[in-house]
Amino acid sequence: MVKVIWRKGALDHLNKNYNHIKKDSLQSANKVRDTIFDMAEALKDQPTIYPLDKYRKNNKGDIRAFEKFSLRVAYQVTKTEIRIIRVRHTSRDPLDY
């Protein structure tokens, strides 16, 4: 079974969004965080369920992304790991990476 690995930058951005939402509602912040973590864990069973990341330059077919609660989560699929590489609010201009 593959493992889900979070890059530090992705976790940092998720935590920033969590703290921002928490200012208005702890319940909503927990829901967003928990749902994103659950969706990431579900990738173990179906890593290719989401489309290729359209913002990834020279995507070799291993970078995919999903959106939930106005957050875009980009991840890389390997034979042994799902690497969560970026969490970004959808209102921000996408970065080419």
Per-residue pLDDT, 96: 54
CATH assignment, 3-89: 3.30.2310.20
Residue 92, SS3?
coil
Per-residue pLDDT, 56: 87
Domain spans of the chain, in order of start = 3-89
Per-residue pLDDT tens for 23-70?
A: 999 999 999 999 999 999 999 999 999 999 988 888 999 999 999 999
Per-residue pLDDT, 93: 61
The mean predicted confidence, pLDDT, of the chain is 93
What pTM, to 2 d.p., does this model score? 0.89
